[in-house]
Amino acid sequence: MHVVFGAGPLGLAVMRALVSMGRRVRMVSRSGRAPVPRDVEIAAADATDPSSARRVCRGAAVVYHCASAPYHQWPAKLPPIMAGIIDGAASAGAALVYGDNLYMYGPVSGPLTEDLPDRAPGPNGRTRASLARMVLAAHESGKLRATIGRGSDFFGPHALQSMAGERIFPRALARRPAQVLGNPDLLHTYTFLDDFARGLVTLGERPESLGQVWHIPSSETITTRQFVQLVFEEAGTAFRLSAAPTPAISLLALVNPTLRAVKEQLYQVTRPFVVDHTKYARAFGVHVTPHREAITQTLDWFRSAGRH
């Protein structure tokens, strides 16, 4: 049994990857609802309640932590979720695979590698650093076996609130300008959700991944402008792009808690943001979806979901 916490974009992508491999899957969400195939079990649980987490982890071989919370509530809500999932996975004797992001590094010069120190400047980044330390400490103490896979800004089915989500894909389909943050002419790594998911599943099946952090491979790093141009080309519409100036975000952040959290990460769009996955490639190889193919799949999902 493979247990997936979180029925958001990443959790659903991990579920799809596991189902394609013939694995038994139990999806866990707070509501007990998720758009899953008939042969996938769905369970309701509050991950912050250890007894609830232990119940849904019963019988698990691998537990995937893909759960999240509203962006501006991460510091308050994510640590209790992590504690509950660690406890649940440990109670089942299962390996834990944590689907992480890259916020903990803070602003860096040069490519992002796994050996960078945690230098996040704001509360969300510091929270992500703390969560990773919780996972690795639980592994080092012998409480459970665990590994961490980190992806960059992702796109794909169900990814609405991502930087490469509903402000790009449905707008291209509707012949409206894509909306991006910062400087669109800087290199920026974008991760296709299904590639991210397959990378996490690989970590869950390879014992040599345990106790370490891994950057999940992405297709070639291009500029945001080039990425958005590909989206419009595959959508068959005329390229149009609008870049929100960072001073405007800073001003709106004074009254909007979500934008306050967004402001914390603006350094990612005002300097090159290139993710290095050499470590993963050497250990497990690289199998990524070319940008055009991944973009086509994403556009197909937005069309089928009526979000354009």
Domains along the sequence of the chain with CATH: 2-156+190-218+274-288 (3.40.50.720)
Q: What is the pLDDT of residue 264?
A: 80
254 or 214: which leads in pLDDT? 214
Residues 34-46, mean pLDDT to the nearest whole number: 95
Interval 218-247 mean pLDDT: 94
Q: By percentage, how much of the chain surpasses pLDDT 90?
A: 88
Closest CA to 262 of 248, 276, 275: 248
8 Å CB contact between 212 and 206: no
Q: What is the pLDDT of residue 71?
A: 87
Query: Is 167 within 8 Å of 302 (Cβ atoms)?
Result: no
| pLDDT recorded at residue 261 | 72
Q: How is residue 258 written in tokens?
A: 């979500």
Segment 24-36 shows an average pLDDT of 95
Residue 258: phi, psi to the nearest 5? -65, -45
Q: How far apart are alpha carbons 56 and 4 in whole angstroms?
A: 10
Residue 231 tokens, joined: 């989206």
* Range of lowest pLDDT (30-44, 125-139, 226-240, 250-264): 250-264
Cα–Cα nearest to 60, from 93, 29, 83: 93
Band of pLDDT at residue 252, cut at 50, 70 and 90 = low
141, pLDDT greater than 80: yes
The confidence band for 262, taking pLDDT boundaries of 50, 70 and 90, is confident
Segment 164-191 mean pLDDT: 96
Give how far the C-alpha of residue 299 lies from the chain's centroid of Cα atoms, to the nearest Å.
19
Question: How far is Cα 51 from Cα 277, in angstroms, rounded to an integer?
Answer: 37
Residue 253 pLDDT grade (very low, low, confident, very high; cuts 50, 70, 90):
low
- Compute the mean pLDDT over every residue in the chain, rounded to the nearest whole number: 94
| Whole-number Å distance between alpha carbons of 308 and 43 | 31
- Check residue 249 and give its pLDDT: 66
Which amino acid does the sequence have at 214? W
Position 234 pLDDT exceeds 80: yes
pTM for the full predicted model:
0.95
Q: What is the mean pLDDT of residues 168-192?
A: 96
- Which of the four pLDDT bands, split at 50, 70 and 90, describes residue 244? confident
Angle at 277 between CA 273 and CA 280, to 5 degrees: 160
Quickly state the pLDDT bin for 131 (edges 50, 70, 90).
very high
Please state the separation of Cα 198 from the chain's center in Å: 12
Q: Residue 223, CB half-sphere, CA atoms under 13 Å: how many?
A: 10
d(CA 223, CA 272): 9
Give the SS3 label for residue 187.
Answer: strand
Q: Are strands 153-155 and 178-181 parallel, antiparallel or unpaired?
A: unpaired
Q: What is the pLDDT of residue 251?
A: 67
To the nearest 10°, report the CA torsion of 30, 210, 2, 98. Answer: 20
Sequence-distant (≥ 6) Cβ neighbours of residue 293 within 8 angstroms: none
